[in-house]
Amino acid sequence: MKKSLDGWRREIDAIDEKIVRLLIRRARSAVAIGKKKREQASPVRDSSREKEVLRHIRKVNKGPLSGKALTGIYRRIISACLKLQKKAED
């Protein structure tokens, strides 16, 4: 059976709940990484690791989102997680 507009919106709401929960888990992992880096006296920002993350997500991508669009979303995610790492330092 074909989904109605409302049916598709409910599908998106369900997907969004999963995405938000994963973003929360990602943010918590980033905070844990921030603590590890502090213990090791490493800098919080690591541009080679950021490039690795972006390469990885583009590899997993199968469309219809373009690599560019996905990279744009991920730059936001990485930046939000980085801010949390820095905040955890205070």
Buried b or exposed e, range 12-29, using 16+ CB within 10 angstroms? eeeeeeeeeeeeeeebee
Q: How far apart are CA 24 and CA 20, in angstroms?
A: 6
Of the candidate residues 3, 38, 45, 86, the single one contacting a second copy (CB under 8 A)? 3
Contacts 24+ apart (CB under 8 A), 19-24: 23/77
26 binds a second copy (CB under 8 A): yes
Query: By C-alpha distance, which of 30, 41, 15 is closest to 86?
Result: 30
Site string for a second copy, 38-57 (x = CB under 8 A): --x--------x---x--xx
Residues between 58 and 77 with contacts to a second copy, criterion CB under 8 A: 60-65, 69-70, 72-74, 76-77
**Which residues are at the interface with a second copy (CB under 8 A)?**
3-5, 8-9, 11-13, 15-33, 36-37, 40, 49, 53, 56-57, 60-65, 69-70, 72-74, 76-77, 80, 83-84
